[in-house]
């Protein structure tokens, strides 16, 4: 089971992920499960409105467009 297979653990904020960012997520998932877990954790933090310096910085050359909107 992967971090995005169910809504478990996600918060009130909707996540809008661009096509390009989704492509990068798939690449990370296939290539580095540890990094995919880190990215998933950070996205879940953002979905709960937990904004910090560590969950808003770029994690390598990956995800480029992620938009948040309260439910």
When the pLDDT of each residue in the chain is averaged and rounded to a whole number, the result is 75
What is the value of pTM for the model shown? 0.63
pLDDT over threshold 50, residue 46:
yes
Q: How confident is the model at residue 1 (pLDDT cuts 50, 70, 90)?
A: very low
Q: How confident is the model at residue 34 (pLDDT cuts 50, 70, 90)?
A: very high
More confident residue, 71 or 27: 27
Q: Compute the half-sphere exposure of residue 2: CA atoms within 13 Å on the CB side of its CA.
A: 14
The Cα 19–Cα 40 span in angstroms is 17
pLDDT over threshold 70, residue 56:
no
The Cα 12–Cα 28 span in angstroms is 25
């Amino acid at each position: 089971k992967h971090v995005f297979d169910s809504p478990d653990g996600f918060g009130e904020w909707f996540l809008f992920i661009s096509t390009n960012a989704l492509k990068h997520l798939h690449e990370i998932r296939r290539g580095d499960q540890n990094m995919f877990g880190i990215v998933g954790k950070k996205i879940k933090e953002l979905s709960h409105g937990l904004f910090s310096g560590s969950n808003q910085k770029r994690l390598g050359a990956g995800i480029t467009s992620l938009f948040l909107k309260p439910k």
